[in-house]
Structure 1
């Protein structure tokens, strides 16, 4: 007869498996970081496109750095930022593969959509920031230039570190705020929020959304509205998803066969 397998896996085995997956993620991050640093000039030129499009004559413009080490550390930050964005799906996959074997089938069905939607929502928010918000914001800020013949001309000469900092700030702000549906779904699964409570506190949520938008975005009304409106729409979408999930969970036991 074949010996029965102990369903309880030793803790050491779990720790070894966790270490292996962490090392895989770290190795991927280092590889992407090295590649991103090698192509940092190309990546930075790509990130400059919204600013270049806002200039009437980009050939007459330049970006500066005022410290000897500023350009070097800017490219390091750019490589780190790129590696983080590229490696995020792999991190989530490794987390899922680590926790999935210890879950029931219905738990996998409930949680797997959250893992799938997390990077999708983040990249959607980052794309909105880069392709919609940044061009509008840069047009707004460049509108304060003064090239009149009288007096000293006021023109923009952006520092590379400051520009990258604003790009990262906007990208992270939009990407993380777009994770609101995932957060609310997790809270709903934990029984902390319900569709009724979300509807009841809708006005408070709207105020909180625009307050966060004012803190996370540059001080211009365009960026704040561009971040606040999609988040409010995602909030309403979260209410519908949680309501649908609650009804599906209530119906599922009734439709299951009796034991």
Structure 2
């Protein structure tokens, strides 16, 4: 029997199946076409939207509790400024309160549906990952949800009191003749709250995003260190856009963002793929140049 016949005999269905499994484990199974990717994206988006609207229904049922929770910093700031009357929100049109409550239910729905949405995001990108990377699905969904909701809670606890205290401090009597009275509209209040909650929720995802990209080999810790000075600049620009025009509230957003970036560098160093020799040499040369110029 020739060597070719022996090799053909050894290629049993079990062995070929194991080879296919090995290919699947390495992520080298049949690639998806462009239209298959679009179809997969459509499925994930449809599922996410359906679950989001179902969560909005739940948020609508508890809208008054959500409103009470989100107005706690506003009420405390009102009382700290010793403003007359009872803290109140207003609406200027018959349907304005309904629209404001609908926005509020969307805020609650986004927080409630975030685990499922993050899972759909992971399921969409998972076909392009190795089998060992696909095992991170549960930690990814868990930590992305905790960071998103935790960022919103941090903004509610730290940034909201400072922002509302600054805004309401502008009320009072001017020159003994003019009285400035805060008349906060319900819709405007919820728009402002939603903007800050979303901003803090997104920036708290920075370590997780950087960790994922570093594990995938897209970035490494040396690239993050080099980009650090630009990130600090971008962090303060973003904080100036998302927060009131007051330095304290901007620092409340920008400083945690920079600290999260430092944590991201550490995570990329520990868990990410190491830089190449060329990248190390370029970083060393850049560092020597900065020292010589300094």
The CA distance in 1 between the partners of 2:270 and 2:140, in whole Å, is 15
The alignment status of 1:29 with 2:55, answered yes or no, reads no
Matches within 5 A, 1:233-248: 233-246=259-272
String of CA shifts for 1:78-115, please: whole Å, max 9, x gaps: 11121111001022234546766885442224565433
Instruction: Classify the secondary structure of the residue corresponding to 2:184.
Output: coil
CA RMSD, aligned part only? Answer: 3.5
Unmatched tracts of structure 2, length 5 or more: 1-12, 22-28, 277-294
The CA distance in 1 between the partners of 2:44 and 2:271, in whole Å, is 32
Higher mean alpha-carbon deviation, 176-185 vs 43-52, is at 176-185
The alignment status of 1:119 with 2:145, answered yes or no, reads yes
Report the alpha carbon displacement of residue 64 of structure 1 after superposing the two structures with TM.
Answer: 1.1
TM-score w.r.t. length of structure 2: 0.71
The CA distance in 1 between the partners of 2:172 and 2:237, in whole Å, is 32
Partner residue, 2:94: 68
1:47 pairs with 50, 60, 70, which one? 70
Residues 152 and 201, structure 2, Cα contact 8 Å, conserved in 1: yes
String of CA shifts for 1:140-185, please: whole Å, max 9, x gaps: 1111111468212112110001110110010001111111112222
The CA distance in 2 between the partners of 1:101 and 1:153, in whole Å, is 62
2:184 pairs with 158, 182, 201, which one? 158
Partner residue, 2:61: 38
Partner residue, 1:85: 111
The alignment status of 1:230 with 2:256, answered yes or no, reads yes
Instruction: Classify the secondary structure of the residue corresponding to 1:60.
Output: coil
Partner residue, 1:213: 239
Higher Cα radius of gyration: 2
String of CA shifts for 1:7-39, please: whole Å, max 9, x gaps: 88999x999998887666555433322222233
Query: Given the superposition, is the C-alpha separation of residues 149 and 197 from structure 1 closer, same or farther in structure 2, using an over 3 Å criterion?
Result: closer
Partner residue, 1:167: 193
Query: Given the superposition, is the C-alpha separation of residues 162 and 14 from structure 1 closer, same or farther in structure 2, using an over 3 Å criterion?
Result: closer
Unmatched tracts of structure 1, length 5 or more: 251-259
Residues 213 and 228, structure 1, Cα contact 8 Å, conserved in 2: yes
Higher mean alpha-carbon deviation, 32-41 vs 106-115, is at 106-115
Query: Given the superposition, is the C-alpha separation of residues 199 and 249 from structure 1 closer, same or farther in structure 2, using an over 3 Å criterion?
Result: closer
TM-score w.r.t. length of structure 1: 0.80
